[in-house]
Chain A
Amino acid sequence: MSKTNQLNEVTNPVPQHKGSRRSFLKAGGATIAATGILASGCKEFFDMIPDKPIPAPPAPPVHLGEGDIGVLNYAYTLEQLEAAFYTKVVEMPYSGISSEEEMILEDLRKHEVAHRDFLKAALGKDAIRKLTFDFSSVDFTSRDSVLGTAKTFEDLGVAAYNGAGQLLVSADFLLIAGKIVSVEGRHAAAIRSIFDEDPKSFAGDDVIDENGLDRAFTPQKVLDTASPFIVNKIIANQLPTS
């Protein structure tokens, strides 16, 4: 082995093929140990580099924060969830989807993406991370499963914003939340209208009470319903309560 080769093995630490690994380990062992990789099992680590797909990154817990920022991050959580859901729905439409249903679901995707992107921009450095979702309970090939989930999400979004309005201090944020919640209400009515048999379901007695009022939920109640779909643990204990 020439001096030039030894130098290359040390300063070029990314192994290019299996044959180079052992010599790399010998020469650069101290450096690798310092990064902590060896502690997690050196053999498994190197086995998966060329042969296996990189596993999904872990989903760390997410703190929504406090005050209006926390409330907006709570909204951003729900909009991320809805946007991810409809993106998947539109990517793989269920069998037998009608052109009307396709148009509605594509519109809902666009609207939720716009809400998500707006909230991310509005929150700036205070925005929570991109969340990881688990839609394994949804059968995306089934109309009933997709529209049933959409109905749950839209009704939940309405109840979430209705309950969150009073938590906001800024009148400007309240107005923006108001601009979004009525669109969620329009969505909820449209999904119910195409999914449910009962022609009164768009504003059905299951969601509108005897005073003609829609539902208003606390963040805790909303997050309890949404949490099976969210891999990250959402920590909402600093949100305002009134």
Chain B
Amino acid sequence: MKIFELLDMYNVKPEELNAFTSRREAFAKLGSFGKKIALAAIPVTIASSASTKAFARTMEPLDVLNFALTLEYLEAEFYTKGLAKAGLIPDGKDRAIFEQIEKHEVDHVEFLIAGITASGGTPVEKPMFDFTAEKNFDPFGDYNQFLALAQAFEDTGVRAYKGQAANLMESNELLTAALQIHSVEARHASEVRRLRGLKGWITQDERGEGMPEATQAVYNGEDNLTQGGVDVTTVSSVGADGVTESFDEPLTKEEVLTIAGLFICTEE
């Protein structure tokens, strides 16, 4: 696992960011994209210089999109492979659930590629994935492990998008699209957790029964009680467990890549 090489993947050259000087030009370019994408609110304003909103940005918007694309590649390939493996996912309810999740992850990949391209960026290549994490897991041979990794990927996805929202604030279109993906990941996470017999929400920083120790990084920090400087247990009758369930916590890019990096081969 080479986190620094992964981080380098998201560095976008300044000339790419400045590829569009006007929204009009961006929209003109957008016209060449398919109907499916054009129907959605497409991110096109990320290269514009003026921002009316003040915030501390830790990553450029195009880098955020490529970061998100990497996670979506990972999820999409995981489910595509799982569905293709005969006898892995039980027919009926389970299969229907994962077909729906896979459809969304594939849609997210296509949407992000189109959005990055329309914004003048270059979508990152799909990395090589190793879902065994160097033979530590056997998700396509053991359905319980498939379920456990699905839960880890979805709960990570929720935290990853949340951690990047502020980096997208200068573009209403981008921010809203990212939020619209974020809540879909949350729906997936809830459903996979419940399929595994857990609650749909995260109590304290518990990874939940049957989750491998290696996935604990996905849940660290979820036991936070303080929101906006307020310890919520001091202003509400709801106890600590309920308060931690009520607020999902973000992860930084570095934290996400430490988790996702377990499954990404960086050797060429």
The answer to whether A200 and B165 touch across the interface, beta carbons within 8 angstroms, is: no
CB distance from A112 to the nearest CB of B (A): 8
CB distance from A120 to the nearest CB of B (A): 7
CB distance from B163 to the nearest CB of A (A): 8
CB distance from B94 to the nearest CB of A (A): 8
Mask: chain A, 196-207; 1 = CB below 8 Å from B; 0 = not: 001110111000
State whether the Cβ of A166 lies closer than 8 Å to any Cβ in chain B.
Answer: yes
Given contacts A179-B250, A202-B187, contact A111 B245 (CB under 8 A): yes
State whether the Cβ of B97 lies closer than 8 Å to any Cβ in chain A.
Answer: yes
B residues 157-171 in Cβ contact with A at 8 Å: 158, 161-162, 165-166, 169
Which residues of A have CB within 8 Å of B107? 210-212
The answer to whether B246 and A203 touch across the interface, beta carbons within 8 angstroms, is: no
The answer to whether A209 and B40 touch across the interface, beta carbons within 8 angstroms, is: yes
Residue count of chain B within 8 Å CB distance of chain A: 66
State whether the Cβ of A21 lies closer than 8 Å to any Cβ in chain B.
Answer: no
The answer to whether A208 and B104 touch across the interface, beta carbons within 8 angstroms, is: yes
CB distance from B40 to the nearest CB of A (A): 5
Contact of A212 among B103, B161, B175 (CB under 8 A): B103
The answer to whether B183 and A214 touch across the interface, beta carbons within 8 angstroms, is: yes
Q: Which residue of B lies closest to A100 (CB)?
A: B194
Residue count of chain A within 8 Å CB distance of chain B: 56
A-B contact count (CB 8 A): 212
Q: Which residue of A lies closest to B161 (CB)?
A: A178
The answer to whether A210 and B36 touch across the interface, beta carbons within 8 angstroms, is: yes
CB distance from A82 to the nearest CB of B (A): 12
Which residues of B have CB within 8 Å of A180? 246-247
The answer to whether A117 and B186 touch across the interface, beta carbons within 8 angstroms, is: no
A residues 139-159 in Cβ contact with B at 8 Å: 158
State whether the Cβ of A40 lies closer than 8 Å to any Cβ in chain B.
Answer: no
State whether the Cβ of A186 lies closer than 8 Å to any Cβ in chain B.
Answer: yes
Interface centre among A110, A213, A242 (most CB of B within 10 A): A213
Interface centre among B96, B100, B230 (most CB of A within 10 A): B100
Which residues of A have CB within 8 Å of B253? none
Interface centre among B182, B185, B188 (most CB of A within 10 A): B182
State whether the Cβ of A51 lies closer than 8 Å to any Cβ in chain B.
Answer: no
Contact of A189 among B96, B179, B190, B232 (CB under 8 A): B190
A residues 198-241 in Cβ contact with B at 8 Å: 198-200, 202-204, 208-216
State whether the Cβ of B201 lies closer than 8 Å to any Cβ in chain A.
Answer: yes
The answer to whether A110 and B242 touch across the interface, beta carbons within 8 angstroms, is: yes
State whether the Cβ of A15 lies closer than 8 Å to any Cβ in chain B.
Answer: no
Contact of B100 among A114, A172, A203, A215 (CB under 8 A): A203
State whether the Cβ of B200 lies closer than 8 Å to any Cβ in chain A.
Answer: yes
Contact of B158 among A107, A161, A182, A211 (CB under 8 A): A182
The answer to whether A120 and B227 touch across the interface, beta carbons within 8 angstroms, is: no
CB distance from B92 to the nearest CB of A (A): 8
A residues 106-126 in Cβ contact with B at 8 Å: 107, 110-111, 113-115, 117-118, 120-122
Interface centre among B36, B92, B165, B187 (most CB of A within 10 A): B187
6 interchain pairs, CB-CB under 8 A: A170-B55, A179-B227, A185-B184, A200-B99, A203-B191, A209-B40
Query: Which residues of B does A touch, CB under 8 Å?
Result: 36-37, 39-40, 53-56, 92-93, 96-97, 99-101, 103-108, 110-111, 158, 161-162, 165-166, 169, 172, 175-177, 179-191, 194, 199-201, 227-228, 230, 232, 235-238, 242-243, 245-250
Closest 5 CB pairs of A and B: A212-B107, A185-B186, A117-B236, A213-B180, A186-B190
